[in-house]
Structure 1
Amino acid sequence: MESSKDMIWTIDRNNTVVFANKACQEILGWDSSLLIGRNFMSFVAEGDREKVNHDIQHAFNSDKQFQDYQSRVLNRDGKEVTVITNMVGQFDSTGRKVLMTGTSRDISARVQAEKELNEKNEQLQLLSSYLQTIREEERSHISREIHDELGQLLTGLKMDLAWLNKRILEKDPECTTKVKEMIAIVDETVKSVRKIATELRPGILDDLGLIPAIEWQCSEFEKKSGIPCEFINSIGDVEIDKSVSTGVFRILQETFTNIARHSAASQVQIELFVQKGVCILNIKDNGIGFDNANDANLKTLGLIGMKERAIMLGGSLTIQSKQQAGTTISLKFPSKN
């Protein structure tokens, strides 16, 4: 006991310390002899005192034993020390529990490291969320510039070519043919510009909201992939924040990309509904699926990015899949971020 680096102590039913090893002095700063006879609760941090006292008394009067019990104690300087404790009872000849002996290990460094790690993770999530927001704003800006500025220039060019075509229609048939070809090229370029602008940031998402944007995306997916896609909307008139709508829409787009590339599915079903005040988007395909138990399948950058985006929305994303039995992605998210 004396050679242990962990605090070993014994108290009676009145919380009086009857034994303390040398490690108590090293961790608490009190000579072990000065601890004996004092009330154990005087060394427990004030914020934990009531709970620890209740749990110890409950342990005295029941079969309960402390296992990996985390609490905070005070050293001689008043500094809090986080310890993890295991405690067992000692009985008298009548079978009554009269003493409790505990072993407490100082885990302050570990708790501080975990706290710092959590803070770093929170900072990284905030940074990631900020970068996502900035990226969406840039995409929206570029989309508008492409659609408005470049679209107007191309429209003006087409009008000039049409004017030129009328002027040379009878004078130079060969030039007329060439001008018509140029007009056709401009028309195709206009279509490409609109397509690029829409892929950068669908205007329907900003103008009409999430539900019409999902309907449009389902239609586009079906056209491009040839895979029938059914959208079941049971959400009603729930108002969804713009930032949340953007995140949900991007997750849907990434899921469609994965289905088209990897699933070999012949059918996709999208369902949007509300359950206990939480919005849920289920995306189900009947493709080849994969082994859900294999973590490597769940650690691709695309899936990790989807889960991170869900967390930034204040929600969560789960993936259920079986080989030859399809995949279901379930996104839970609040209506407001």
Structure 2
Amino acid sequence: MQISTLSSEIAESLPFERVSFSHQFLIVGSVGLGIAMTIVGIWLGAETERAAVNRVTAVSAAYVESILAAQLRAVPEDALTTQAMHDALDHIFISGVLQRKIAAFKLWDAQGVVHYSSDDSLIGQRFPVDETLASAFSGTVQARIVAREQELATGGQDAGQRLLEIYVPIRISQSDKVVAVATFNHWTGNIDREISSSKLRSWALVAGVTLSIYLLLFGMVRRANGTILRQRDDLRSQLLRLSRGYEELEHMRRRLGEAGSATTALNEQFLQRVAADLHDGPAQTLAFSLMRFDELVTALSAGSGAKETSAPDVFRVREALRSSLEELRGIATGLGVAGIADLSLAETVDRAVRDFELQYGRTVEAHVESVGVETDLAVRITAYRIVQESLTNCGKHALAGALCVHVQQIAGYLNIEVADQGQGFDLHATPLNGRLGLAFMKERVRLLGGTFVLESTPGCGTRVAVKLPLTIKESIVV
């Protein structure tokens, strides 16, 4: 229990754990989707640029190849280096229609020798055959983006532009043999603008799709987080209820132990009182009767004065035995109530009042109202004991004054009130636990889930008020 509590405290102390699940997703998801969006955007940009270059390469290569094919259709292979051929190519690439579209032009042979160039200083020079040039001689059109060389700048062109370098295989005399490779550098101004526009649209599409996915996922996570929070609150409420229930069970267990101890102590005190009553009452009387009976037997056996002594002694023995019998009946009445199971609540209260009136010879003003509802036997027994013990205390201590018993049913509860106008007593000077009868009454009422109130003032009488539930199936408390 301590370990789990400590781990939960440590987890709650971490900054990230104090953030809700939806906010965690907001942070982690934005970073993750941002990285994914960047990767996809870069890849789409590269693919867009590659597609644009390939498209322009194909169109430009076909256009240039068609012009060169018309120019070199009937020219033999060794005529590529003649002055007439140079003049014809100058007319096309330097002063012709391709002047503003092509920044530079070269004509290579398979050994890397430049047979023609728009830059006269390069004619006749030999360069290493790189992979791109070799691939072009194998019959494949090649293209690549290169940085614009400063010497290629011409009037009206942006010195910061890049160049698209295209390698076009040249075939003459209706043959598939590649006799030369034409290399020309194409201005990329329009291509760059098209690529930039395509990249911008690609990035916008990727960003829109990513944002839509992110918002959709965030909405789902937020709703799930709400469910989790509600379930967590429900679990906390259930845990709180279980904890309170456990505390109540512990409290009830302690109260049960206390009630058991109190009941044991009260029973022991009650047994001691019964033993004292038997010893001081019927036992003494029976001992006196037995002693007088022995004297009577002795006198009768001696035959001396039997007639003079037998009659009074027999009368005294008879009275003593009768007194013992009455005392035993009184004690038995206090121990049990015969036939109470067959009585109603009103009859039970009336019997307790009549028993008191017969025993003490005093009149009780009894009022029993609205008690026609069927009640449990335990409630009737407790009501009898409350009225009996309260009236008995009145008979013993309230030697004068009126006695009143008031019983009524209100809202599922039975209210019992017994009052006298005797001398009363000081509750603080005489604790409740010091009076066995009052302690028994209070314990009986508490076990049935009722309330017990005792009011008394010296010189103003005593009042006992009890409130009991009519049914005790769910009302018994410990």
User: So what's the TM-score if we normalise by structure 1?
Assistant: 0.50
Give 3-state SS (helix, strand or coil) of 1:296's partner: coil
Aligned pair partner of 2:332 in 201, 205, 211: 201
Cα 1:200–1:244 shift into 2, 3 Å: farther
Cα 1:262–1:196 shift into 2, 3 Å: closer
CA distance in 2, matches of 1:47, 1:182: 84
Aligned pairs (5 A) from 1:313-332? 313-321=448-456, 324-332=459-467
> Which residue number corresponds to residue 187 of structure 1?
318
CA distance in 1, matches of 2:251, 2:17: 37
CA distance in 2, matches of 1:333, 1:197: 31
Q: CA deviation at 1:34?
A: 1.4
Gaps of 5+ in 2: 22-224, 276-282, 473-478
CA distance in 2, matches of 1:212, 1:230: 11
CA distance in 1, matches of 2:9, 2:236: 23
Q: CA deviation at 1:205?
A: 2.9
Which stretch of the first structure deviates more once superposed, 275-284 or 235-244?
235-244
User: So what's the TM-score if we normalise by structure 2?
Assistant: 0.38
Cα 1:27–1:185 shift into 2, 3 Å: farther
Aligned pairs (5 A) from 1:14-29? 25-26=8-9
Give 3-state SS (helix, strand or coil) of 1:202's partner: helix
Aligned pair partner of 1:72 in 240, 252, 260: 240
Aligned pair partner of 1:217 in 355, 358, 364: 355
Equivalent pair of 1:218/1:231 in contact (CA under 8 Å): no
Superposed CA deviations along residues 95-145 of structure 1, whole A, max 9, x for unmatched, are xxxxxxxxxxxxx8xx86664233220344367568889999x99xx9xxx
> Which residue number corresponds to residue 44 of structure 1?
233
CA distance in 2, matches of 1:131, 1:177: 53
Cα 1:332–1:190 shift into 2, 3 Å: farther
Cα 1:205–1:243 shift into 2, 3 Å: same
Superposed CA deviations along residues 205-233 of structure 1, whole A, max 9, x for unmatched, are 3136523531233314643xxx6432333
Matched, 1:34 2:202: no
Q: CA deviation at 1:26?
A: 2.5
Matched, 1:269 2:404: yes
CA distance in 2, matches of 1:252, 1:46: 50
Aligned pairs (5 A) from 1:1-337? 25-26=8-9, 31=14, 33-38=16-21, 40-46=229-235, 48=237, 72=240, 115-125=249-259, 174-202=305-333, 205-207=337-339, 209=343, 210-220=348-358, 222-223=360-361, 228-234=363-369, 241-260=376-395, 263=398, 265-289=400-424, 296=428, 299-301=431-433, 302=435, 303-321=438-456, 324-334=459-469, 337=472
CA distance in 2, matches of 1:27, 1:289: 64
CA RMSD of aligned residues (A): 5.1
Cα 1:32–1:216 shift into 2, 3 Å: farther
Give 3-state SS (helix, strand or coil) of 1:232's partner: strand
Amino acid at match of 1:46: L
Superposed CA deviations along residues 141-191 of structure 1, whole A, max 9, x for unmatched, are x9xxxxxxx9xx99xx9xx99xx9xxx8xx958213433234323322332
> Which residue number corresponds to residue 161 of structure 2?
none
Cα 1:271–1:173 shift into 2, 3 Å: farther
CA distance in 2, matches of 1:323, 1:333: 28
Q: Percent identity?
A: 19
Equivalent pair of 1:259/1:265 in contact (CA under 8 Å): no
Superposed CA deviations along residues 248-289 of structure 1, whole A, max 9, x for unmatched, are 333334323543555565111112333334332210112344
Equivalent pair of 1:24/1:30 in contact (CA under 8 Å): no
Cα 1:237–1:172 shift into 2, 3 Å: farther
Cα 1:172–1:119 shift into 2, 3 Å: same
Give 3-state SS (helix, strand or coil) of 1:205's partner: coil
Q: CA deviation at 1:45?
A: 4.8
Amino acid at match of 1:116: E
**Larger helix fraction of residues:** 2
Cα 1:259–1:304 shift into 2, 3 Å: same
**Larger strand fraction of residues:** 1
Give 3-state SS (helix, strand or coil) of 2:419's partner: strand
Gaps of 5+ in 1: 1-21, 50-70, 74-79, 83-107, 143-149
> Which residue number corresponds to residue 145 of structure 1?
none
Q: CA deviation at 1:335?
A: 5.0
Cα 1:319–1:269 shift into 2, 3 Å: same
Equivalent pair of 2:391/2:418 in contact (CA under 8 Å): no
> Which residue number corresponds to residue 71 of structure 2?
none
CA distance in 2, matches of 1:41, 1:267: 65
Which structure: larger Rg?
2
Equivalent pair of 1:219/1:229 in contact (CA under 8 Å): yes
